[in-house]
Structure 1
Amino acid sequence: MKMQPSITELRALAAVARHRSFRKAADELELAPSTVSHLLTGFEARIGARLLNRTTRSVALTPVGERLVDRLNSILMDLDGALADVDAAREQPVGVLRITASDTVAMLLMRSIVPTFLASYPQITLDLVAEASFLDIVAEGYDAGIRLGEAVPRDMIAVRFGGPSRMLAVASPAYLRGRDPPVTPYELAAHCCVRSRTPAGRPYRWEFERHGEAVAVDVSGQLMLNRTELMVEAALKGLGISFVPARIAEPSLREGALIPLLEEWCPEYPGLFLFYPGHRHVPPVLRAFIDILKAHA
């Protein structure tokens, strides 16, 4: 009788099939790529069938491997669900939660959500990665991501939180002293603006809208920054007008350190969403985070 495969071998096969890469599968499993390769080579030898076609540049399932993985995914999902039920029976969830968000969203989470979550669940380790570019959370091994609604992939389950958002032009009283504040976006041409770039590296165009009229402005200015918090700081220092998420500027606006500009040209839009794969069982650590998010956002 042939020796039955281990759960580690089965998970390794499923991960390689999902990522089409030993390296990415190894990252997800927190193993060395050579370990994943040796596990699957031994698995194939014991069952007497080739499951993977390997080349120096790629890895793909054989027809036999595809049939096995098709059935294996549902089995592993059921197993994860059963283990999650065991975890849920504990008084406190235990484990690691990996979430990716933009730097701006990560800053917002750090104000109250993260401290509350860590205090409420001391046995959970939160791995929060601030990343400007849009990631494939499944391929990169994240439990969830947080983005604006328009950026959430359609095949994901999305949980809205925090209400609507909007971008806002802001400047300090020192910068505006002796200057006429802009009344329309077109008047930004007469001002020094703090610019930024898109994740693709292109200068970001400031987008406004009022009564159905949409305006995109290529602003000018001496300073180019790549972090929202730096743009707020630049505005506070009187270096020009910044265009930033209203939530990030809110403390400075409340204190009068920044003044809102072009408010009627800055409409609200659907806010932030936490999203995760719909085909996976929601682990208790993620469910706990979602509960905190809904309660405190």
Structure 2
Amino acid sequence: MRATDLSELAAFDAVARHRSFRRAGEERGVTASAISHAVSSLEARLGIRLLNRTTRSVSVTDAGAMLMARLSPAYADIGSALDSLNQFRDTPFGKVRINVPSSIASFVVGPVLKPLLVNNPSLQLEIVATDRLVDIVEEGFDAGIRLGESLRDGMTAVKIKTRLRFAVVGSPSYFRARPIPKSPHDLKHHTCLQNLYPSGARYAWSFAKGGKEVEFQPTGPLSLDDHALMLKAALDGIGLAYLWENYALRAISEGKLVRVLDAWCPPEDWIYLYYPARKYLSAGLRAVITALRA
């Protein structure tokens, strides 16, 4: 088989997985037009249409699905074979793409980046931070990080040892006219900011103490899906905010925010790195997992 044949097959495989010429081009490091040309050339030589294209979407034909089903394990075997060469190197080699929620990216991934890259100079990391719910297989990631939401079938999850906690905070000016809440049940007498997922769904404030768990659903006048904005709103005295404590620690130490219900906010232990169970575990991904679990 010619090198051009392999390149065209790889281009088709990338488009079929991503359902996008642009994303396939980004993965392959070429332009979307180059990917389109490669796939068209492959289809012309085979005499079969592999992809249906419209101005808005890309879908796989029956013939394309059959070819993809045979190509995917073959490319996995090739990747595994190439990765096995890492035993002849001092450190892992290659690119690892990780998806992580932007609200915790700097706290979970940030601390490990420098030592990970210093100890593995041949490793290339691509970190994409977004609070949007991402299909890591479809979008070409090696792994993702999630806050304990249920994972689809076929995924392996590894718990990350981190000390992230939530905090409930309000400004001194806010508390001048209101009492300090002593338990989560007291929050119904306060103005509390509502927390949003990127989808627009609201999520409850979760508390735990002495084996007792309490959930509180705020009904305040302001809803936000960004922790930096929640911090600003709390500093401005709009209401109480429920956010990752890392965002608020400096303001708390400077006396600009008052932390309440501290005993009801234990460290979270449900942050996971996950990856497809059938995917070979490359040396690079193993190095990332080891760093995040340390």
Interval containing the TM-score (normalised by the shorter chain) = 0.7 to 0.9
Supply the distance in 1 between the matched residues of 2:250 and 2:153 (Cα, whole angstroms): 34
SS in 1 for 2:149: helix
Aligned partner letter, 1:245 = W
> What TM-score, normalized to structure 2?
0.81
Is structure 2 residue 108 aligned with structure 1 residue 109? yes
Cα distance change on mapping 1:118 and 1:217 into 2, 3 Å = same
**Residue 3 (structure 1) shift:** 5.6
Q: What residue ranges of structure 2 are gaps of 5+ in the alignment?
A: none
Which residue of structure 2 aligns with residue 276 of structure 1?
275
1:233–1:123 Cα change, 3 Å = farther
Q: Deviations over 1:120-166 (max 9, x none)?
A: 22333322222011111111122211111224333211110125765
Question: What is the match of residue 135 of structure 2?
Answer: 136
- 1:234-291 alpha-carbon deviations (Å, 9 max, x no partner): 5466554221234655676688775542346546654210111222222222221111
* RMSD of aligned Cα (Å): 3.3
CA distance in 2, matches of 1:257, 1:111: 25
**Amino acid of the structure 1 residue aligned with 2:122:** Q
User: Which amino acid in the other structure matches residue 289 of structure 2?
Assistant: I
Post-superposition shift, 1:168?
3.2
Deviations, residues 164-185 of structure 1 (Å, cap 9, x unaligned)? 7653323355644564111233
Separation in structure 1 between the aligned mates of residue 143 and residue 155 of structure 2, nearest angstrom: 10
Equivalent residue, structure 2, for 1:26: 25
What amino acid maps onto 1:54 in structure 2? N
- The 1:151–1:73 alpha-carbon spacing in structure 2 relative to 1, beyond 3 Å, is same
Deviating more after overlay: 231-240 vs 17-26: 231-240
CA contact (8 A) 1:163 1:271 kept: no
Opposite residue 157 of structure 1, the aligned amino acid is T
Cα distance, 1:105 vs. partner? 1.9
**Aligned residue number for residue 62 of structure 1:** 62
Query: 1:197 corresponds to which residue?
Result: 196
Residue number in structure 2 paired with 1:50: 48
Q: Residues 237 and 125 of structure 1: is their aligned pair in 2 closer, same or farther, counting only changes over 3 Å?
A: farther
* Letter paired with 2:39: L
Q: How much does 1:209 deviate? A: 5.9
Deviations 1:188-222 (A, max 9, x none): 2433434442212355543446766644322425x
How many residue pairs match? The answer is: 291
Task: Tell me, yes or no, if the aligned pair for 2:76 and 2:280 is still in contact at 8 Å.
Answer: yes
Higher mean alpha-carbon deviation, 204-213 vs 183-192, is at 204-213
Match of 2:166 in 1: 167
Going from structure 1 to structure 2, the CA distance change for 1:12 and 1:216 (only over 3 Å counts) comes to: same
Cα pair 1:164 1:271 within 8 Å, conserved? no
